[in-house]
Amino acid sequence: MAKEITAQMVKELRERTLAGFTDCKKALAECDGDMEKAMEFLRKKGLAQAAKKAGRTAASGVVHSYIHAGGKIGVLLEVNCESDFVAKTGEFQEFVKDCAMQIAAMNPRWLVPEEVPADVLAKEREIRAEQNKSSGKPANVIEKIIEGQIKKWYTEVCLLDQIFVKDSKKDIKTLLAELVAKVGENCKVRRFVRWEVGEGIEVVKKDYAEEVRELAGGGA
């Protein structure tokens, strides 16, 4: 016997997913009232909707700045959508802020794997090939291992492949797909830059004896 779908259940699912009333009711009915399964149902639906909208032009949006760690880290991020109306919605603004925080915390180097320079990727493959050389495994097996390692590396260095710091069950591209499902427009993270105080500056540490001489006002 199918479980009765109550208004309270629909309300709870809406609060947890921000999906529409009809979608929440259908998801609960499809999943026999199981809240977790209904959330997964809506997530998959969102991914499908995002794929359909991916070809539409997204030329509106925002450029967002975020300062972190007491002024030690700064992020500048552009996220696009199709209209100014959506750019001002709470859902869109929340995604932008979460994305900027992700960049500050996890320091991705590129947006997607396709942006990784060929020479950098070749070097990463070379390093992993050297590490696996002495394993004694057949060449085809080693190649599969390297592919797996590169895929994992992408989750560290590419923003959209990174695990969301606020929810380990999602990556950023899933979070983006959910945003598309909620707002009904194509949305894209276009570009970002991250600065950290002192980044790229080589600091030469003085030895103890030199520091003592300077404090005493003496030379060499």
What is the mean predicted confidence (pLDDT) over 82-107?
95
Query: Residue 25 is part of which domain span?
Result: 1-53
Instruction: Report yes or no on 218 lying in a domain.
Output: no
Instruction: Report yes or no on 63 lying in a domain.
Output: no
What is the mean predicted confidence (pLDDT) over 28-34?
89
The yes-or-no verdict on residue 62 having pLDDT over 70 is yes
Q: Which two tokens stand for residue 52?
A: 């359909």
- Looking only at the bridges linking them, the beta strands covering 163-164 and 188-196 are unpaired
Nearest to 179 by CA among 104, 124, 98: 98
Split into its structural domains, the chain has a count of: 2
Query: Per DSSP, what are the bridge partners of residue 189?
Result: 79
pTM of the predicted structure, to 2 decimals: 0.70
Higher pLDDT, 71 or 203: 71
CATH classification of the domain holding 10? 1.10.8.10
Instruction: Report yes or no on 87 lying in a domain.
Output: no
Residue that is last in its domain, among 154, 177, 209: 154
